[in-house]
């Protein structure tokens, strides 16, 4: 049997459409700064765009020389800045319902008056709800792209970044290289020491890889005990050197397992992006190099050789 829910009207009063239309037109066309600000902020969930709007609307009321905003969202620093600073500063910690949403700072050469400071506070109060929503949106996006165990980007993030790297490589001739890494005999770690120790090892491995690579490189949990490293502006030999640093860093991990130290090794496969190559093909070649590293003794690096 198919059930179709019914909607019950809670009122029989007629709708004053003219009044609603008039209120909407008033809201849409109101020149007052707070209404205009909130109206513009409601059009986007991009925190960067919202801050640019806030800076523009704020400057039209209280001129300033520089605006900056800092916040850590989902373990990542978010920084926005516009203009050049001055010696006088006012700083606001944005809090809403007990939750911190970043620090907003204004600078200018001339001292802010008490009236200007009160006006700034009222404008920020009007902006705090949209800014909160934008922060939460970023956090949700980051959660979808972050591995819950290791707190590094996950395979979904890797897929997106590989597609972007492939486009940049083809369009501008930029060199990108991918490293796939796989912990050796990880199943034995789980079997002998349990999944708690195994999970701890994965966390330490992620940290060791991050410490072994450059700031421009990025590491991802590819799945299980497998990790991926994307290296921009990097050729095969440089990537091999990075892979060897990663192997040494992972080999230095020691876990106390009740009187005995647990240590592991990792195998690496390297592949440079080729012209007109899809991300899936690129991953497949790196995986082939990793397979050879596993087959040829583990704890080593193998490169999928390319010509040209």
**Using CA atoms, how far apart are residues 49 and 130, in angstroms rounded to an integer?**
11
What digits encode the pLDDT tens for the residues 132-163? 999 999 999 988 999 999 999 999 999 999 99
Segment holding 229, helix H or strand E: strand 226-232
Instruction: Report whether 213 contacts 250 (CB < 8 A).
Output: no
- Which of 222, 225, 264 has the alpha carbon at shortest distance from 247? 264
Instruction: Report whether 161 contacts 85 (CB < 8 A).
Output: no
How far is residue 7 from each of residues 4, 10, 13, 163, 198, measured CA to CA in Å? 10, 9, 16, 47, 53
Residue 40: pLDDT over 50: yes
In the annotation, is 288 catalytic?
A: no
Quick one: pLDDT band at residue 20, thresholds 50, 70, 90? confident
Q: Which of 57, 116, 225, 226 is catalytic?
A: 225
Mean pLDDT of all residues in 179-208: 95
Residue 308: per-residue pLDDT: 43
**pTM for the model:** 0.72
Going from the N-terminus, what domains does the chain have, and what CATH number goes with each? 20-144 (3.30.450.40), 155-303 (3.30.70.270)
Residue 7: per-residue pLDDT: 52
What digits encode the pLDDT tens for the residues 230-259? 999 999 999 999 999 999 999 999 999 887
């Amino acid at each position: 049997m198919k059930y179709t829910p019914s909607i019950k009207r809670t009122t029989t009063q007629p709708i004053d459409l003219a009044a609603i239309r008039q209120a909407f037109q008033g809201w849409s066309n109101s020149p007052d700064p707070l209404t205009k600000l909130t109206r513009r902020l409601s059009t986007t969930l991009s925190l960067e765009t919202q801050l640019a709007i806030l800076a523009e609307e704020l400057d039209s009321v209280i001129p300033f020389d520089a605006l900056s905003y800092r916040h850590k969202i989902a373990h990542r620093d978010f920084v926005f800045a516009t203009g050049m600073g001055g010696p006088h500063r006012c700083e606001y910690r944005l809090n809403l319902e007990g939750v911190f949403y970043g620090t907003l700072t204004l600078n200018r050469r001339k001292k802010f008056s008490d009236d200007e400071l009160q006006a700034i506070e009222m404008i920020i109060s009007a902006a705090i709800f949209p800014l909160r929503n934008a922060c939460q949106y970023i956090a949700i996006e980051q959660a979808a792209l972050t591995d819950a165990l290791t707190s590094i980007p996950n395979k979904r993030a890797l897929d997106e970044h590989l597609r972007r790297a492939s486009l940049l490589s083809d369009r501008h001739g930029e060199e990108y290289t991918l490293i796939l890494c796989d912990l050796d005999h990880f199943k034995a770690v789980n079997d002998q020491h349990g999944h708690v120790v195994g999970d701890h090892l994965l966390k330490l491995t992620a940290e060791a890889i991050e410490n072994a690579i450059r700031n421009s490189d990025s590491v991802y949990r590819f799945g299980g005990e497998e990790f991926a490293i994307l290296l921009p502006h990097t050729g095969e030999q440089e990537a091999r050197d990075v892979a060897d640093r990663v192997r040494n860093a992972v080999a230095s991990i020691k876990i106390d397992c009740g009187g005995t130290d647990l240590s592991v090794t990792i195998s690496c496969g390297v592949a440079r992006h080729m012209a007109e190559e899809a991300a899936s093909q690129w991953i497949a070649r790196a995986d082939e190099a990793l397979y050879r590293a596993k087959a040829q003794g583990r704890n080593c690096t193998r490169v999928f050789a390319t010509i040209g």
